[in-house]
Structures are given as C-alpha cells and as structure tokens.
Amino acid sequence: MSIKTANFVKSSPEYQQCPPPTLPEYAFIGRSNVGKSSLINMIVAQKDMAKTSGKPGKTQLINHFLINEQWYLVDLPGYGYAKVSKEKKKTFGAMIENYLLERKSLRCVFVLIDIRLEMQKNDQEFMRWLGECGIPFVLAFTKCDKLSKNGVQKAVQAYEQEMFKEWEEMPTYFVSSANTNQGQEEILAFIDQINQQKS
C-alpha cells in the first residue's frame, strides 16, 4: 500500500464524538514516550502529522487521521508514567476503554513496545485486558535502530519468552524504527490485508 493522502480529521474527548464509524480504524497506543507519534509519522510518510514531544503524555484526546480516503489511523493517549494528574489519568483510562470496547469500526490495536526494555507491567496488564475483551491486537516494537540486529533478535526472543508464560502464541508483531523507516511496508501491508478481508 502506498500513502497518497493522510489528513488530520478531528480530536475527540470521547468515542461518541469521533467521526462516523463508516471506515475501518487502526488504533495506536503504548506507554508514554514509546515513540508513538514518530512511528505514526513514519508510517504515513509525513514529518509532523502526529505531534511529537519530548514530554510524555502529549496526546490527550482520540485523534483520527484519514488515510487514502479509505481508513482511519487513530492516535490514542499513552499510558504509564506521563506526568499528568490522577484525575486526568482516570479520564484517559475511561476514554480509551470506552473507545476500544464500543467502537464498531475498530479493526485492530497496535500496541507499541520500546524494544530496549524488558516487558513492562502496564503493557502486560493492557494486553491481558485486550485479550479478555476479545479485542484484536498486534505488537509494534519501536526504536529498533537503537540496537544491533543481533540485539533486536535477542530482545524479541526475550519478549516472546515472557509472552508464552501467559499466552498460547505470540501475537503478530512488527519491528520498526521511525528513523530508518523499518517496518513501514510491513505494517501498511498488514492493514491493507485486513481492509481487503473486510471489504
């Protein structure tokens, strides 16, 4: 799939205010500072479509981007150690949960994982919740350019070992880098494949 158009549509404080659910949606989420905005910009080949920030917790709304006039890429608020108030964290939690549970046009959730880190408890809990709710998800390892090829392989193997403690099989995963564009073609091909199945 080649990206011909990628346009910001709107930011919504709750799922009921999102655009009409007439097109397939792919949501991107991860711990704060996992490199989500950078990855989204790499995928759609635009430098600043999703706003990047050195400060965790930049995304605080459900952001819809229309890709090729055919599907939505959805940028969800991160979870984890963002310096926001407890009250805001509760709001984020409810907003994300309601969107993921109620959004009928959601096809798949991309859970972003910093490949340099061991499995984090909040990632583990979030994936467990997705599994219990029957929400389809895949993993996207970010920042793979920060490790050698061998280092990437070892990191993925270590992650697989942790996943197998709780899951029967490893979810589909992508190894990506916003700096080198690694993973862009594979992620877009995956989305295209699902769009074809649903059409």
Helix (H, G, I), strand (E, B) or coil at 140: strand
Q: How far apart are CA 130 and CA 147, in angstroms?
A: 29
Residue 55 pLDDT = 46
pLDDT tens-digit profile of 1-11? Answer: 889 999 999 99
Q: Are 51 and 58 in contact (CB under 8 A)?
A: yes
pLDDT higher than 80, residue 12:
yes
Q: How far apart are CA 80 and CA 116, in angstroms?
A: 16
pLDDT tens-digit profile of 144-182? Answer: 999 999 999 999 999 999 999 999 999 999 999 999 999
Between helices 86-102 and 121-133, what is the axis angle to 10°?
Answer: 30
Helix (H, G, I), strand (E, B) or coil at 60: coil
Global pTM reads 0.90
Spatial CA neighbour of 140 closest among 164, 101, 118, 110: 110
Q: Are 198 and 26 in contact (CB under 8 A)?
A: no
- Per-residue b/e over 130-155, b at no fewer than 16 CB within 10 Å? beeeebebebbbbbbeebeeeebeeb
Residue 32 CA, chain-centre distance (Å), reads 11
Asked whether the CA dihedral 141, 81, 100, 10 is positive or negative, the reply is negative
Residue 54 pLDDT = 46
pLDDT tens-digit profile of 13-59? Answer: 888 999 999 999 999 999 888 888 899 999 998 877 776 544 444 45
Residue 71 pLDDT = 96
What's the average model confidence in pLDDT over 113-139? Answer: 92
Domains and CATH numbers, the chain: 6-198 (3.40.50.300)
Q: How far apart are CA 46 and CA 180, in angstroms?
A: 14
pLDDT tens-digit profile of 95-121? Answer: 888 999 999 999 999 999 999 999 988
